[in-house]
Amino acid sequence: MGSDLSVVNAARVSFNKQKEEFDDKDEKLIAYLVKHGHWSPLSHPKISLRVSMPFAIARQWEKHRIGCVRGYDIYDHNEVSRRYVDDPPTFFIPDEWRQRPDKSMKQGSGDAHPEQDKARDRFLCAVRTAEHQYEELIKMGIAPEQARFVLPVCTYTTWIETGSLAYWARLCILRQDEHAQQEIQELAQQVSDIIAPLFPVSWKELMK
């Protein structure tokens, strides 16, 4: 909902002005708003995305909401609930296994691990076991809200998230940082690729 024009019209309403077409002056105004931290005009446009990712990454994704300030914190989130559905789960299988980082680091990862096949086999064994036991619990008539406890954190979840332009920019800046987990960096880049053509001027300035 909205466009770059929506941003500048929200800013100019203070002077009781409104424009019908976007021009070079508007581009300069957006640059000024972003540079000086005037976030409220950037909070009027909204973007809704249907997002799917494994639970482990989803919990990291949610952390960017902590410490949101006025102008950022406009978002809504509705997620598929495995209390209600017992559809066959899908799982995230890494393409490459990375080594644990240097001992001085508590998070992150290093280069590719030399035993790729062995790591993949162990991972798949655990996932298949969990999937089988989940299916057996459902067949027994166990409530989905309890059967789901056996599923691993690589299980995909899906939700619809709606947030302001400023909100999504904050998320992408935080999650595309080189210190973020590689998988979440890739997801943030996908979000950026979706939004950039919808708000070309605002997004360019926000990503600076």
Active centre residues (catalytic): 175
Give the Cα separation of 153 and 130 in Å (integer).
11
For residue 126, give Cα distances in angstroms to 42, 53, 54. Answer: 45, 19, 16
Residue 28: what residue type?
K
Q: Which pair of tokens denotes residue 38?
A: 């005037």
Of 149, 194, 153, residue with least CA distance to 61: 153
Q: Which pair of tokens denotes residue 13?
A: 């309403």
Of 66, 52, 77, residue with least CA distance to 170: 66
